[in-house]
């Protein structure tokens, strides 16, 4: 793509484009540059001022890419506050649309917690770059993103909810998914009661290497299996633990 195609005043779109090109960009970032980008993206995803964090992330990305490669991600003018939908941004970026200043900038339309999810590029969003950099997950974009959204929509427990029930949210063999804002979600099907996991879930998750690839493990549990004629999670508590282990082992062995 040409550099001109990347010049936009919307930092969310710039970061969405970076997510779409992450396979090319990632090897070009050194450890320090990646760490700085991660700090900025953490503010985008978890902080109270996502627009400011997005602008910072764009600057970090442009500066961290070597050999002038970052120039294509430099926006010509990035407003200090988000533009109101349907109105052009203020020239110079120093005030709200129409010339009226917005105190702090966080109350303007587009600055709320959901704003990073709005702008997209080729099916990628700014928060997809945060997931790539901070979570190390490839469950983003037009193909895998919907799978991620589907898995995050199932009933789940938070870290605190598991602890309050006497469990360990970071115990080995549990599927832990990072949702919006980076919050850890533990799909509810894993627990027999309160926060005690089904023993067969821990056994199967170890077979599926859930600690390293929790999304694939969650997808297996929650998708219909042709051999089982049901999603594996639906068989928990039905006395078919051995069948679940055999099905998971067959998957791992390529059967």
Strand-pair category, 120-121 with 156-158: unpaired
pLDDT (tens digit per residue) in 152-200 = 999 999 999 999 988 999 999 999 998 877 789 999 999 997 778 999 9
pLDDT (tens digit per residue) in 18-63 = 999 999 999 999 999 999 999 999 998 888 888 899 999 999 988 8
Cβ-based neighbours of 255, under 8 Å, separated by 6 or more: 249
Dist. CA 200–CA 245, nearest whole Å: 7
What pLDDT, on a 0 to 100 scale, did the predictor assign at position 182? 78
What pLDDT, on a 0 to 100 scale, did the predictor assign at position 208? 96
Total-model pTM: 0.71
Residue 191 near residue 167 (C-beta atoms within 8 A) = yes
DSSP string over 227-255: TTTB-GGGGTTTT-HHHHHHHHHHHHTT-
């Amino acid at each position: 793509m040409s550099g001109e195609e990347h010049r936009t005043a919307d930092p969310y779109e710039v970061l969405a484009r970076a997510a779409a090109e992450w396979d090319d960009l990632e090897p070009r970032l050194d450890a320090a540059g990646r760490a700085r980008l991660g700090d900025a993206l953490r503010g985008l995803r978890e902080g109270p001022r996502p627009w400011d964090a997005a602008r910072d992330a764009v600057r970090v990305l442009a500066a961290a890419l070597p050999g002038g490669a970052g120039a294509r991600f430099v926006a010509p003018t990035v407003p200090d506050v988000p533009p109101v939908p349907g109105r052009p941004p203020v020239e110079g970026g120093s005030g709200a649309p129409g010339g009226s200043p917005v105190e702090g900038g966080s109350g303007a339309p587009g600055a709320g917690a959901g704003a990073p999810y709005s702008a997209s590029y080729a099916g990628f969003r700014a928060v997809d770059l945060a997931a790539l950099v901070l979570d190390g997950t490839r469950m983003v974009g037009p193909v895998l993103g919907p799978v991620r959204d589907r898995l995050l929509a199932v009933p789940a427990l938070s870290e605190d909810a598991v602890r309050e029930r006497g469990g360990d949210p970071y115990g080995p063999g549990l599927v832990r998914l990072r949702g919006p804002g980076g919050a850890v979600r533990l799909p509810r099907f894993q627990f027999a009661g309160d926060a005690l996991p089904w023993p067969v879930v821990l056994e199967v998750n170890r077979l599926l290497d859930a600690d390293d690839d929790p999304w694939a493990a969650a997808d297996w549990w929650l998708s219909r299996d042709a051999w089982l004629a049901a999603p594996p999670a639906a068989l928990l508590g039905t006395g078919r633990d051995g069948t679940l282990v055999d099905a998971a082992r067959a998957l791992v062995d390529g059967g």
